[in-house]
Amino acid sequence: MRIPCPYCGPRDSSEFAYLGDAAPRRPADGDAAAMATYVYLRDNPAGPMEELWYHAYGCRAWLVVRRDTRDHAVTGARLAAGREASA
């Protein structure tokens, strides 16, 4: 599997560390139920999803990678930095 890092170009997935679903956002402090959901509950889609990958053996940036969970086809990647501002 190859991941198209926007800084480095296409790279083997072995250069990356996987975190998981990019969708969850940390809730405000004090909301225990929302925090439990944020920490524990994940969707498990069959199809395209956005995930966080860290380019550990490359530019050391976090990426949001769009990957199809059925066939591992990677259809895009962007830097995660600044995603809150642009979302």
| Of 61, 55, 52, nearest in space to 25 by CA | 52
> If you ran DSSP here, which 8-state letter would residue 29 be given?
T
Query: Which residue of 38, 57, 73, 75 would you call a contact of other proteins, by CB under 8 A?
Result: 57
Kindly tell me the burial class for residue 35, based on how many C-beta atoms sit within 10 Å of its own C-beta (0-12, 13-18, 19 or more).
Answer: middle
| Of 21, 59, 58, nearest in space to 41 by CA | 21
| Interface with other proteins, residue 34, by CB under 8 A | no
Q: Residue 7 CB, nearest distance to other proteins (Å)?
A: 6
Per CB under 5 A, residues contacting Zn ion are 5, 7-8, 55, 58-59
Q: Residue 11 CB, nearest distance to other proteins (Å)?
A: 7
| Sites of contact with other proteins (CB under 8 A) | 7-12, 14-15, 57-61, 79, 81
